[in-house]
Every structure is written in C-alpha cells, then in structure tokens.
Amino acid sequence: MTVADGSQVRLADVTETVIGTTPTTPTFQTMRYVSSDIRISKQTDIPDEIRADRNVASIVDVGRMVQGTINTLLSYGTYDTWFERLLCANWATNVLKNGVAHQAGTLEKMFEQGATDTFIRYVGCRWNTLDLRLSSKQSIGANWGIMGIRSPAPTSAILSGATYTAATDTPVMNAGLNVSAMSFTGIANAPKVQAMNVSIRNNIYANDVIGSYEPYSHGLGRFEVTGSLTTLFENMDTYKAILDHDDVALSTTLTDELGNSYAIALPKVKLLDGGPTVGGNGRAVLLEVPFQARYDSTSGASITITRTPA
C-alpha cells in the first residue's frame, strides 16, 4: 500500500451549470493552493436516554455536509472564477461587483497512491468566505471558506470523459513590491499601513428538510465586508476619522511583476474603533483599526474588483 503524499494531491474545480450536479464530461481546472481541509462533515446525535448503568445507549448518524477551507496565495487569473462565486456575480468588462447570483462548483481531490489512486469529490460547493491577508514583506494570502451539499463515494478513477486544464503560472503577488496606489479618500494624510486584512462573508446557510441526509439547498445571507488595518501613528487624521465616524473610501491596487493587476475598492467604509497603542521600548506606536464596508449607491455595491491584464 502507498501512503498518500501531501505534495502530490491535485485539487481541481469545475463550475456546475445545475447547482448540485457535476457536469458530464467535465473540464476540470487544476488549482494552485497551499493547503486544504475540505471534507465531508458527519453529523451525529447522542440521545439523552437514561440507563441505570450510566452508559451511552446509542449514537445516531443524522446527516452530512461539506465544509472546510482552501488556503492559497494570490496570483493573477488563477481565482477569477472563485471571485465570481464569492461575490455572487460575473465579471463585466473586467469589473466585478457583489451581487445575488447563485453559483457553485464541484471540487475534486486526487490522492496519488501508486497503482490505484483515490478520487474524492465535493458537489454543490459554495464560496462562503474569503480572508485576504496583506502583510509587509510577505506574499498575499487568500483563504477561501467552502460549504457544499454532498460528497459521492470515493472512487479510483476520473469521471468518464473528464479532462484537466493545467494550473496557471502567473507570479504570486506580495505585499512588499506588488501593492500600490493604496488610497484613503476622506483622510487628509493617508496612514502608512503595515498590515491589512479584508474578510468577505456571504453568511451562507443550509436548508435542511426531513427525509434528506444532506442539505436540500443553500441560502445567501447578508453580504459583509470587514477588515482591519495596522498603521503607523504619524498624525491625528486617521484617529480623528475614527472618532468622527466619517465615511472613508479605501482602495488598493495589487500588481504582479508582469504588470497584471487587481484594483480592490471599498467606496464607503466606517472605521469602527482604535487608538494609539504603545507596545513598549524600541517599537513604533501603532493604530489597530477594525473597519466595515457598507453599500455605496454610486457604484451599486459594497466592493468592486477591477482586473487589468499586462
């Protein structure tokens, strides 16, 4: 027997035309990723029955659902379909805004095990969350949260007629050289940022029904964009914007070494809290600022992503 090696696990993805149904003769896109804990989650119930000997009488298998995360590094053109699913919308002239379109895909993991490989598939997968991490002198991380409907029985072969498109090879973006045009409209003197995290949440929920072992469907909750900034305390402008509860427009452009770029814009943001933090001797005074975006009537969205190829 051959133990599966994590360095040889292929992750592939295909869009579902009918949510919950893997396309026939699918063309899978091989995906770039760092780690993944996507799995079928078994749900059990332990009945609270009383026994004179104090033992557990039974453990009941009541359901299944797919859930987990995929940890990646941001690169141009690699995750454009995932951005569509996350924002529930489609690119229009290279611009993507959050919307209400239901989208899903099938994920497949292939585990290399010698003569006989193992294929595990996850169907009806929704892109529920994204945590985008920008830290000085580090690659830009993107952690995707997935919710799915089912995982068919594992097999030892590809689906009939399935093909696989090679993974992209565009450079990984980093927050040292690849972040430019960071703008804070509404703050007179823009702060210098050491780290920025952006979290996108669809708040997807499962619709469970009697007689079904798995979710019947998924619903879309409220779309939320939150985040945090770690900035150097150079002046009072950012702190004053916090206290005055001002509207701030936050935007940044991520450009790889080939010239491909994503411009991310949050046109209306509230700085929720924060004040100067003194960490001790030999350290700069920082402002740790949580923020949340809200709907902007001019752009018709809470977030806009614009892609520009080199």
Q: What is the mean pLDDT of residues 103-130?
A: 94
Judge whether 221 and 206 are in contact, CB under 8 Å.
no
Mean pLDDT calculated for residue range 81-109: 98
Predicted pLDDT of residue 190: 84
User: What mean pLDDT comes out for the span 205-227?
Assistant: 95
Position 47 pLDDT exceeds 80: yes
Q: Give CA–CA dist 291/75, Å, rounded.
A: 25
pLDDT, tens digit (0-9, with 9 covering 90-100), for 50-78: 999 999 999 999 999 999 999 999 999 99
Mean pLDDT over 10-21 rounds to 97
pLDDT for 231 beyond 80 = yes
Confidence of residue 277 (pLDDT cuts 50, 70, 90): confident
How much is the average pLDDT of 87-98? 98
What pLDDT does 267 receive? Answer: 96
* pLDDT at residue number 186: 86
Tens digits of residue pLDDT in 109-121: 999 888 788 999 9
How large is the average pLDDT for residues 15-38?
A: 97
> Of 237 and 95, which is predicted with more confidence?
95
Average pLDDT, the chain: 93
pLDDT of residue 100 exceeding 80, the answer is yes
pTM for the full predicted model? 0.93
Answer yes or no: are the C-beta atoms of 122 and 104 closer than 8 Å.
no
Mean pLDDT of 85-111: 97
Asked if residue 2 has pLDDT above 80, the reply is: no
Mean pLDDT of 145-150: 97
pLDDT for residue 29 is more than 90? yes
Q: What is the mean predicted confidence (pLDDT) over 101-126?
A: 93
Model confidence at 305, pLDDT cuts 50, 70, 90, reads: very high
Give residue limits of the domains in the chain: 7-41+60-308
Full 3-state SS string of the chain: CCCCCHHHCEEEEEECCCCCCCCCCCEEEECCCCEECCEEEEEEECCCCCCCCCCCCCCEEEEEEEEEEEEEECECCCCHHHHHHHHCCCCECCEEECCCCCCCEEEEEEECCCCCCEEEEEEEEEEEEEEEEEECCCECEEEEEEEECECCCCECCCCCCCEEECCCCCCECECCCCEEEEEEECCCCCCCEEEEEEEEECCCEEECCCCCCCCCEEECCCCEEEEEEEEECCCCHHHHHHHHCCEEEEEEEEECCCCCEEEEEEEEEEECCCCEECCCCCCCCEEEEEEEECCECCCCECCEEEEECC
Query: Which pLDDT band, with edges at 50, 70 and 90, does 125 fall under?
Result: very high
Q: What percent of the chain has pLDDT over 90?
A: 77
**Percent above pLDDT 70 for the chain:** 99
Which residues are within 8 A (CB) of 279 and not within 5 positions of it... i.e. 6 or more apart?
285, 286
pLDDT at 7: 78
Calculated CA dihedral for residues 262, 257, 260, 31, nearest 10 degrees: -80
Average pLDDT for residues 37-45, to the nearest whole number?
94
Q: Which pLDDT does position 275 carry in this prediction?
A: 87
